[in-house]
Amino acid sequence: MASFSTRDGRDTESDRLTVLTFSLAGKRYCVRVDAVASVVSVTQTGSLESADDPWNAGSTRVDDEQVRVVDLLRVFEPDRSRVDDPELLVLSETDERGVRYGWLVDEIDVTETVRRTNLEPAKASAQFVEGRFDLGEGGAIWLDEREIHG
């Protein structure tokens, strides 16, 4: 991707991206902040954890809208145990069928503004991993929600 900067080398707005960081099994991930509609605490996860398919672990209502739950911990780390109070990161866009998705994650962290040119490409070929940003307190793997849910 091309870097856009002024003549004196300062970054322009088009090079900057704000991401929301979150954790899964001790690893940090991030997603574009404008892709997130809301974050909701989840108190009862029994039926979600026992679902056969982590990509369709169940559904819940958020703001009078049905949200399909994707259990990201079971997608990325199937043998890890869940934290007591996970959170649901509800995505703002729907897929081509009009389905809204939410990702069950361990903990929501903070927003960070990063430079797109600082993205380290993904080492493994994962269709929905854009790469990794080096943030102040370690790195975060950037997930592309559009690729995950098509």
pLDDT of residue 128: 74
pLDDT of residue 9: 52
Query: pLDDT (tens digit, 0 to 9) for every residue of the chain, 150 residues total?
Result: 333 444 445 556 678 989 999 999 889 999 999 999 999 988 776 777 778 898 988 888 898 889 999 988 888 887 777 777 899 999 998 888 888 999 999 999 989 899 888 888 877 666 778 888 888 778 888 888 887 775
- Distance, in Å, from the CA atom of 150 to the CA atom of 133, rounded to the nearest integer, reads 23
pTM: 0.81
- Distance, in Å, from the CA atom of 45 to the CA atom of 59, rounded to the nearest integer, reads 11
Concatenate the DSSP letters of all residues of 69-111 into one string.
EEEHHHHH-TTSPPPSS-EEEEEEEE-TT--EEEEEESEEEEE
